[in-house]
Structure 1
Amino acid sequence: MNMHILLVEDDKQLQRQLVAQLSQFGHEVETADDGPAALSIVGQQAFDIIILDWMLPNIDGITVLRQLREAGMNLPILMLTALGQVFDKVEGFNAGADDYVVKPVDPLELNARLLALLRARRANEQPTDTISAGDIVISPSRLRAWRTGVALTLSQTEFKLLLELVRNAGTIMTRPMLIERIWGHDFVPATNIVEAHIRHLRVKLLEHGDDPISTQRGLGYMLRA
């Protein structure tokens, strides 16, 4: 899934690095060096997603974010930040951020989060009540899931986990991404909480076919599309 991305980053070295890395994933990247430039270019071009640095000259990233949301801009916005405190994350989400990545940026993690955000936004825009991947069908509103037409008996956490995997089928979901989306951004997990729930989910899915979940060692998990 290729995207048209606006990268707002004043650090020229990091900007060039991210443009090169994102281009390798097939994305088209436009850049802005500060808040006013970002606000100007957004009014001139259509983007799929915005990567917005927290600390910008002239107008900081949070202010830019608020102005974009107040202007009715509802496309996904991912914040880049060197800050890790809880109150900074809360401020970002309250201002309208969809996700964040802490510097230094891992390109695989960044790309995975971008794809997940775009898929989630498109899924939310679909009028249908169900989403599917292969022989797995999920109804988010009814909290029900089926495989090969057979209803699955899942715990609430297993359902959320399967829903995230189905929504992002064919895309690697990293362990931090799954923890944030299912347990919350400020949840401090047990060391193997994701692995344990993946194992339980696999057992239930294997009752109705082959294992559809691929373990990407050192990265995360992916539901085969």
Structure 2
Amino acid sequence: MCAHVMVAEDDEKQAELVRRYLEREGHAVTLVRDGRAAIESVRRRPPDLLVLDVMMPRADGLDVLRVLRAEARELPVLMLTARSTEDDLLLGLDLGADDYMTKPYSPRELMARVRTLLRRTRLGPPADRVLSVGTLAVDPDRHEVRVDGDQVECTPGEFRILAAMAAEPDRVFTRQQLLEELHGFDRYISHRTVDVHIMNLRKKIEPAPRRPARLLTVFGVGYKLADPAKAKSAGRG
């Protein structure tokens, strides 16, 4: 699975190490040394995957992510950070990162994460139909989400979660099952990753995110995607 991977990393030795590992797996690699260069390079030639360091000159990785997601760019982003607190990591996910690794990291594990993101982004869910749950429609082929006919922009991670749940409405998914949709069997990823994606999805698909009617919490178990109209009808019955 050869791909174009951009590595935004100001540490020259670290960038060269990542480049060598990526090229060894057959990928074409573009290296950039600062945040502004990363934004400009993505605009000129969008990569299949962006490996993005948080601490960079001229614009840090979080600012880069803010700009790219504001432009509705859906490329998968793997963040590298020396900040190991949960709040810092969740902030990256909240801004639309698909995965993260804390420094120091194993290059072999980094390559495994890259393979997982590329595989899931390229294959995605089955693309033979639009998945509808009430007035929510998920189109895997076009990578589109619509609510009441209006398009909603989702990150690749958010889209994978929503597509999996839309394929089986009313099924209760555990956090672990949703993590497997995101990253496969990965013991290094926290269940809080799923919670952040769910929170962000609610902001996008719910009229009142604090009182969700579509993306529901099943306490002690996980989450499910439901049709609000059916729930109202059942309540009247």
After TM superposition, what 4+ stretches of structure 1 lie above 4 angstroms from structure 2?
155-159, 161-165
1:160 aligns with 2:177: yes
Residues 82-138 of structure 1 deviation map (CA, whole Å, 9 limit, x = unaligned)? 1110110121111111110111121221111112222222344642479xxxxxxxx
Give distance in 1, aligned partners of 2:180 and 2:4.
26
Partner of residue 43, structure 2: 43
Q: Provide TM-score, normalisation by structure 1.
A: 0.61
Change (3 A) 1:60 1:126: same
1:21 aligns with 2:21: yes
Partner of residue 222, structure 1: none
1:142 aligns with 2:150: no
Partner of residue 56, structure 1: 56
Amino acid in the other structure paired with 1:176: Y
Q: Percent identity?
A: 36
Partner of residue 92, structure 1: 92
Q: Provide TM-score, normalisation by structure 2.
A: 0.58
Contact 2:80 2:102 in 1 (8 A): yes
How much has 1:61 moved relative to structure 2?
0.7
Change (3 A) 1:73 1:125: farther
Residue from 183, 187, 203 that aligns with 1:175: 187
Change (3 A) 1:113 1:162: closer
Contact 1:112 1:174 in 2 (8 A): no
Contact 2:3 2:28 in 1 (8 A): yes
Q: RMSD in angstroms over aligned alpha carbons?
A: 3.3
Give distance in 2, aligned partners of 1:184 and 1:49.
23
Partner of residue 192, structure 1: none
Unaligned runs of 5+ in 2: 132-163, 196-237
Residues 14-38 of structure 1 deviation map (CA, whole Å, 9 limit, x = unaligned)? 1111111111122111010001111
Residues 131-167 of structure 1 deviation map (CA, whole Å, 9 limit, x = unaligned)? xxxxxxxx76228xxxxxxxxxxx95598289649x9
Give distance in 2, aligned partners of 1:7 and 1:38.
8
Give distance in 2, aligned partners of 1:62 and 1:157.
29
Change (3 A) 1:107 1:128: farther
Find the residue that maps to 1:176 and give its secondary structure: coil
Change (3 A) 1:125 1:32: farther
Spell out the pairing of 1:2-21 with structure 2 (5 A cutoff): 2-21=2-21
Unaligned runs of 5+ in 1: 131-138, 144-154, 188-225
Partner of residue 107, structure 1: 107
Contact 1:8 1:50 in 2 (8 A): yes
Give distance in 1, aligned partners of 2:83 and 2:176.
32
